[in-house]
Amino acid sequence: MAPSDLNISSSGNGRITEAYAFDDVLLVPGYSEVLPAAVNTETRLTRTIRLNIPLISAAMDTVTEGAMAIA
């Protein structure tokens, strides 16, 4: 990645922050000794609601429409 491709901006407090877009990150598959069955992918949404998936979509109408959010 060339330095000119980075999104660098000032946060207003004199510190420079660095931001990455989706295309700036690449996960390369590789060898692992961790077995898939041994991984816990549970996500806690509230004290009483837990999901067995590691990711949830953003609470935005352009990302998750109402029907999907209710389901």
Each domain of the chain, given as residue ranges in start order, spans: 3-70
pLDDT score at 2 = 53
Q: For residue 4, is pLDDT > 90? A: no
Q: Write down the pLDDT at residue 38.
A: 92
Summarised one tens digit per residue, pLDDT across range 8-35 is 555 566 677 787 888 888 989 999 999 9
Q: Is residue 50 predicted with pLDDT exceeding 80?
A: yes
**Which position has the higher pLDDT, 6 or 28?**
28
Helix, strand, coil share of the chain (percent; to 5): 20, 15, 65
Residue 64: exposure state from Cβ atoms within 10 A (0-12, 13-18, ≥19): middle
